[in-house]
Structure 1
Amino acid sequence: MTQSYDADVAIVGFGPTGVIAALTLAKNGVSAVALERDQDLYPRARAVTVDDWTMRIFQDLGIDERIEKKIEPQRALRWITYDGTEIMRVDRPLSSLGAKARAYNIYQPTMEAELRAAAQEYGRRLTVHYGARVTGIDQDADGVTVTSTDTTTGETRTTRARYAIGADGGSSATRSAAHCRLLGDTGDVTWVVIDCRVKRWWPDRDVLTFWSDPQRPVVDIALSAGNHRWEIPLKPAETPADYPTAAEVWPLLEALGVTPDDVEIHQHAFYQHHTRMADTWRRGRVFLAGDAAHLMPPWAGAGMQTGMRDAHDLGWKLARVLTGELPESWLDTYEAERRPNAAFYTRLAVDLGRVITQQDTDTHPPLNAPPALQAGWLRGPVGDTSLVGRMIPQPSAGDTTGRMARLDDLLGSGFVLLGDDTDPADLLTAQEKAGWDALNARYLAVRPKTAHTRGPDELVDLDDVLLPWLRDHGVRAVALRPDKFVAATDVSGLAVPA
C-alpha cells in the first residue's frame, strides 16, 4: 500500500526554532508543514541577542543580509555594582566567522517577522497553518499523524508526515505526546521584564550592563530598532500583583536613574527562570528542539539561539536522510551533538547568574567561546588543541576564475575536504576516498594568495587566515560537514567518521 503524506516533516510550533527548522528543510529540498497555535506573532521581546554563529546559519539559509537590516551590532558587555565599580568587562571582538560583528542586539518580534517573511517565499514546499492547536501526535513504522484543532472554527485537521519536530516551547504538547520527561528546576525568584521605547540617548546605552547586586541585580540592555529592556527581580515579599500598570513599574526604573525623558514603557511581563532538559530528545520519528528540549536562564543570551542551532542541525540531517543522501542512522547524531552544547550554554548561563547576583565574584565565564561540538559525527579527539569539532573560520576567499566571496559561498552546502596547498584527495587511501565519494564530497586545495592556482578545484586564502589556522595546529587537511564544522583532520585520520 502506497503511503500518502501531506509533507515530509511536520513542525509543531513556528517560533524561531520552528522557522529555522522549516527554512533548513525547504532549502535542502524537502517539504514541511508547520502548525502554530497562535494566529499572530507573539508580541513580547523574549530573546535579546544573536551572535556570529547564528548569523552563519542565516547565511547558509540565504537570509543573513535581510536579517542584518533588522538588528544592530553589540559593542560590549559589563558587570558593575551600584556604586560604579566594574567587576568585569568584555569588549566584543571582531568575528572570525564572516559576520560583520561578533554579536548583535535584536528586537525579537521584528526579527521573527522577517524570518517568517522569508519562509513565505518557499511557496508550496513550506506550508504554515496558524491557529492550529495540536491535540494528538501518533506515530507508526512509516510516519507520524498530527491532529490539530482550528482555534477559530473548531475544525479538526490531521496532518501526515514522515517525521515530526516539536518546536512548541517549554509547555510542549509534542514532548508530552512523545512521553519525554522534562527534568530540572525552576527558580523561585520572579523577574519583571520591562520593554521600553527610547526617547533620547544616554551614556553607555549601547553597552549591555549587568547591575550586580545580591538583592536587586538588573539586566540593562539595548534592543534594536530603538527599544531598550530592563529585567529586575522582585523581592521576596513582592508579587506581580504589586505591579499592575506602568505607574507601579516606574519606581524600579527611576532607582536606576531612568526617567520619562529617557524612555516610554511599552509593556512589562513576569517570568521565572528554568534550568531543565528533556530526558530524551527523540522518540522514534518524533524529535524535540529548542525550549521543548531544554530551558535555561537568560544570562548567556543563548536560549533562543540554542534552539535555532538545534533546528539547523536536525534540519540538514533530516533533509539528507529523506532525499536518500544519508542513511537513517544519521539521525542518531542529532541529540549526541546538540545535548552537550545545550548543557554547556545552560552551565554558562547559571555561572553568569552567580556573577550577577554576587554569589561568585571570582569566576570569569568564557563569554566568547567559539562554536564547538563535543561529540557526534566526528573522528578524533576534541578540545583546545584539536580542530575536530570546531567551526572553520570564514575569511574572504577566491576561486580559480577570479571570483572573490565569503568562504561558505564558495564551499557550497555539502561535504568538503580542504588541503593546505595540496589536493586533499592525495592524502587519502582508496578506501577513505571511496567513503567521502559516497557522500558526494568535494576536494579543494587552498592556495596562498602569493601563488598561482593550478587546477579547477582550488581556493585562494585571500585574507591569509585558513592556511595559518591549519598550520598553527599542525594540520595539512580537514574534512568539513555541511554545517562547516570540522569532522576530521589528517592528524587523527581522514577516514569518514563512524
Structure 2
Amino acid sequence: MSKPFDTDVAIIGYGPSGVSAALCLGQYGVNAVAFERDSAIYPRARAVTVNDWTMRCFQSVGLDQALARDMDATAALRWITYEGHELMRMDFPPSHLGLHPQSYSIYQPVMEETMRQGALRHADRVDVRYGVEVTGVEQDADGVTITSRNLASGSISTTRARYALACDGGSSTTRERLGVKLLGETVDTRWLVIDAHVKRWWPDRHILTFWSDKKRPVVDIALALGNHRWEIPMEPHETEADFATHDQLWPLLNSLGVTKDDVDIHQHAFYKHHVRTAERWRVGRVFLLGDAGHLMPPWAGSGMQSGVRDAFNISWKLREVLAGRLPDSLLDSYEAERAPNVAFYTGVAVQLGRIIKQQLSEEEMAAMVPPPDQPPSLPPLFWAPTLVAGWMQGTLRDGCAVGRMVPQPRVANAQGKRCLLDELLGDGFTLLGDGVDPASLLSPQEKAGWDGLGARYATVLPANAPGSSPNDIIDLSGTLLDWLRAHHTRVVALRPDRFVAAAEGAGLGLPG
C-alpha cells in the first residue's frame, strides 16, 4: 500500500531555480514544499543578465513587470584591447518574444527578493521552510521521502512527496546522494570578482565590455541599480592574499581607467570556471535543476537563466502528469529538451571566452563577423529558442515550425481587447490556425487527444478582417501570420511554454 503524501513536489534549495519552480507550481495549483538552509538571500550578484526568453517565462507567472523595474536594458557587447582597439561588437537586435528587450542587466540579490515576494502569492500552495537542511532523500515506486533537520531546534522531520526537484546548487548533496557524477572539467585559473557602487558616469559604461588580452582579460559590466562589476583572472604566481584588501584591488581598476572618483568598492570574491554537466538529470522521481545539473562559464550569461528555464520546463510537465492527463514518461523529455540547450549555451560561452582571451586566430575572428558588404548574420547568442528533441512531433529541421518558440506580437481579441499574445493563450495548450479553425484540420483521434489536455482552438486573422468568434485572435502587425507562413504551415499546436509541439505537415497528433 502506498504511503500517504504530504505534498506533490519537494523543492530542495530555494535559489533562482527553486524559486522559479515554486512560482510555476504555485501558478499551476500544484502543492509543493521547499527546503532552504539559509533564510537570507546570498548577498553576492553572481548572475549578471537575463534575456527575452527568460522574461517570457516570468511573464507567464505575472512577474516580468515587477522584475523589469529593477533591470536595465543591455545596449551592446564589445571586445576591445587595452590600447582601445575594438575587436568585435554586437548590438542587440529587437526581440520577437514579447514586451522586453533582448537582454537586461540585473542585480541578482534584488531580483531574487522580487521572485521570493512573488512566490508568496502562492503561500497556500507552496510551503517554504527556511533554516532547514535536507539530510536524506529516499525513493520508492510511488514517491520520495525527504528527511530534514531544523537548524535552530535540531528537530528531525520527514516529508513525503510524489516528485522532488534538486535545486541545491553546484555542490548539490542531493546529486551526491543519488550517486550521479558531474562530468567535465574545472579550469585551473582563479578569477577575482570586484563589485562596486557607481559614483559618477564614465564613457560607455553601459556597454558590456570584454577587455581582450592574453595575460589579463577582464569582464567589465554594468549591473542594475547603480552597481558595476569586473571579473579579472589571477596570474599563476598570484594568490588570494595578493588581493585581500580594497587597496590591493585599485591598481587593477586603475589599469582600466577607473578611479576612486568613479566607484566605491563594496565587496570582492574569488572563483573558478566550470564546464560540467550531470551524467543524468533524472533518477527515478528526482530531477536535477540549475547548477545541481550543469555548470558553465559566465561568458554567455546563461548559467542562472538555464536553471530558471529548467524549472519552467519541468513544472508544466509535472502539472500534466500529476493531473493524470499525460503519462510519467513525459518527464523523460525534461533532460532530452534541456540538456542540448544547456550544451549549446555552454559552447557559446566557451567560444566567447576564447575571444576575450585572444585565443582565436584572425581567420576564426573574421568568420564570426561578416564583412561590411554582406548582410549581417545573427550571432548564436541571439538565436531564437529551439528544441532539438523531446515532446514534439518529429525533430527540428529547416523550414518546419516544430521545436521552435512562437513569436509574441501584440494582438486583439474579437471584443477589441489589445494585449500580448500570451495573455490570450493562457497557461495551457493552444492550437492556432492561419485563417482557419484548427480543429477542422484534425482527425477525430487527433482532436480527442488535444481535447483531453483541455486545449483551446484559435483562428488567427489579419487586422483588416472581421473578428466575431471568442476564439479569434487578431494579429495586429501580421507578425504571427508571417511566421506561420514562413514555416509553411496553417496550424501549429503550442505547448504551455510556447514551443510548437506539432504542426500541419509534420503531424498534428499528440507527441508520443
Greater CA drift, 252-261 or 320-329: 320-329
Distance in 2 between residues matched to 1:447 and 1:53, nearest whole Å? 25
Deviations 1:9-31 (A, max 9, x none): 11110000000011111111111
Two-structure CA RMSD over aligned residues (Å): 1.2
- What corresponds to 1:262 in structure 2? 262
Would the alpha carbon gap of residues 474 and 2 (structure 1) be closer, same or farther in structure 2, given more than 3 Å must change? closer
Aligned to 1:165: 165
Measure how far apart 1:100 and its partner are.
Answer: 2.6
Q: Secondary structure at the match of 1:475?
A: coil
C-alpha displacement of 1:392: 0.5
User: What per-residue deviation string (whole Å, max 9, x for no partner) do you get for residues 221-262 of structure 1?
Assistant: 000000000000001101112111111111111111100010
Normalization by structure 2: what TM-score? 0.95
Structure 1 position 450, deviation (Å):
0.6
User: How much does 1:124 deviate?
Assistant: 2.4
The number of aligned residues is: 498
Q: Does 1:495 align with 2:509?
A: yes
- In 1, are the aligned partners of 2:446 and 2:508 still within 8 Å (CA)? yes
1:220 equivalent to 2:234? Answer: no
Equivalent residue letter for 2:342: A
Counterpart residue number, 1:446: 460
CA contact (8 A) 2:389 2:395 kept: no
Structure 2 counterpart of 1:429 = 443
Partner residue in 1 for 2:476: 462
Amino acid at match of 2:267: Q
2:43 is the counterpart of 1:29 = no
Task: Give the secondary structure class of the aligned counterpart of 1:124.
Answer: coil
SS in 1 for 2:252: helix
Which is further off, 57-66 or 446-455?
446-455
Equivalent residue number for residue 337 of structure 1: 337
* 1:394 alignment partner AA: Q
Indicate if the aligned counterparts of 1:30 and 1:323 stay in contact, CA closer than 8 A: no
The equivalent residue for 1:236 is 236
| Residue 366 (1) aligns with residue 380 (2) | yes
C-alpha deviation, 1:384, in angstroms: 4.2
Which residue does the alignment assign to 1:135? 135
What's the CA shift string for 1:397-449, capped at 9, x where partnerless? Answer: 11111111100000111111111111111222222222212222111110000
| 2:356 aligned partner | 356
- The residue that corresponds to 2:374 in the other structure is none
- In the alignment, what sits opposite 2:323? 323
CA contact (8 A) 1:107 1:227 kept: yes
Q: Which amino acid aligns with 1:82?
A: Y
State the one-letter code of the partner of 2:314. Answer: L
Q: Which runs of 5+ in 1 are unaligned?
A: none
Tell me, in whole angstroms, the C-alpha distance in 1 between the residues paired with 2:435 and 2:46: 46
The answer to whether the 8 A contact 1:56-1:98 is kept is: yes
Determine the structure 2 residue equivalent to 1:107: 107
2:372 aligns with: none
TM superposition shift of 1:456: 2.6
Residues 53, 97 of structure 1: 8 Å contact kept: yes
From the superposition, tell whether residues 413 and 194 of structure 1 become closer, same or farther in structure 2 (CA, over 3 Å): same
The CA distance in 2 between the partners of 1:485 and 1:347, in whole Å, is: 23
Work out the CA distance in 1 between the residues paired with 2:266 and 2:399. Answer: 48
Q: Distance in 1 between matches of 2:466 and 2:202?
A: 53
Q: In the alignment, residue 172 of structure 1 is paired with which amino acid?
A: S
Report the counterpart of residue 118 of structure 2 in structure 1: 118
- SS of 1:8's equivalent in the other structure is strand
* Letter aligned with residue 98 of structure 2: G
AA of the residue aligned to 2:249? V
Q: Distance in 2 between matches of 1:239 and 1:150?
A: 38
The answer for the alignment partner of 2:181 in structure 1 is 181
The farther-off stretch of 417-426 and 144-153 is 144-153
Q: CA deviation at 1:326?
A: 2.0
Residue 199 of structure 1 and its aligned partner are, at CA, apart by: 0.3
Q: Which amino acid aligns with 2:67?
A: I
Q: CA deviation at 1:72?
A: 1.2
Measured against aligned partners, the alpha-carbon deviations of 1:100-151 in whole angstroms (never above 9, x if no partner) come to 3111000000000110111122122111111212111111122111112222
The Cα of 1:454 is off from its aligned counterpart by 4.1
Amino acid at match of 1:63: L
Residue 2 of structure 1 deviates from its aligned partner by: 6.2
Q: Distance in 2 between matches of 1:142 and 1:474?
A: 44
Counterpart residue type for residue 189 of structure 1? T
Counterpart-to-counterpart distance in 2, 1:367 and 1:210:
15
Distance 1:326 1:56 in 2: 25
Question: Which one of 454, 458, 472 corresponds to residue 486 of structure 2?
Answer: 472
2:430 corresponds to: 416
Q: Which moved more, 1:454-463 or 1:248-257?
A: 454-463
Distance in 2, Cα, partners of 1:226 & 1:263: 10
Aligned residue runs from structure 1 range 264-279, under 5 A: 264-279=264-279
Following superposition of structure 1 onto structure 2, how do residues 6-155 of structure 1 map, counting pairs within 5 Å?
A: 6-155=6-155
Find the aligned partners of 2:493 and 2:381 in 1 and give their Cα distance: 28
Cα deviation code 1:275-323 (max 9, x no counterpart): 0000001111111000000000000000000000001100111122112
Report the Cα offset of residue 394 of structure 1.
Answer: 0.3
Letter matched to residue 400 of structure 1:
A
Q: Name the CA distance, whole Å, in 2 between partners of 1:367 and 1:287.
A: 27
How many angstroms apart in 2 are the aligned matches of 1:71 and 1:19? 19
Q: Alpha-carbon deviation of 1:380?
A: 2.8
**SS of 1:40 mapped into structure 2:** coil
Q: Secondary structure at the match of 1:469?
A: helix
Q: What amino acid is the match of 2:465? A: A
Question: Could you tell me which amino acid in structure 1 is paired with residue 299 of structure 2?
Answer: W
Q: Identity rate of aligned residues, in percent?
A: 58
Alignment check: 8 A CA contact 1:449 1:461 kept: yes
Cα distance in 2, alignment partners of residues 15 and 210 from structure 1: 28
Give the structure-1-normalised TM-score.
Answer: 0.98
Q: How far apart are the structure 2 equivalents of 1:34 and 1:270?
A: 29
> d(CA) in 2 for partners of 1:161 and 1:472?
45
* Partner-residue secondary structure (3-state), 1:62: coil
Residues 148 and 158, structure 2, Cα contact 8 Å, conserved in 1: yes
Code of the aligned partner of 1:421: G
The whole-number CA distance in structure 1 between the counterparts of 2:503 and 2:118 is: 36
Does residue 484 (structure 1) correspond to residue 483 (structure 2)? The answer is: no
1:312 is aligned to: 312
Counterpart of 2:391 (choices 377, 380, 390) is: 377
Query: Which ranges of structure 2 fall in alignment gaps of 5 or more residues?
Result: 369-378
2-structure distance, mates of 1:386, 1:222: 39
Query: How many angstroms apart in 1 are the aligned matches of 2:74 and 2:190?
Result: 27
Distance 1:382 1:446 in 2: 24
Structure 2 distance, partners of 1:423, 1:389, is 22
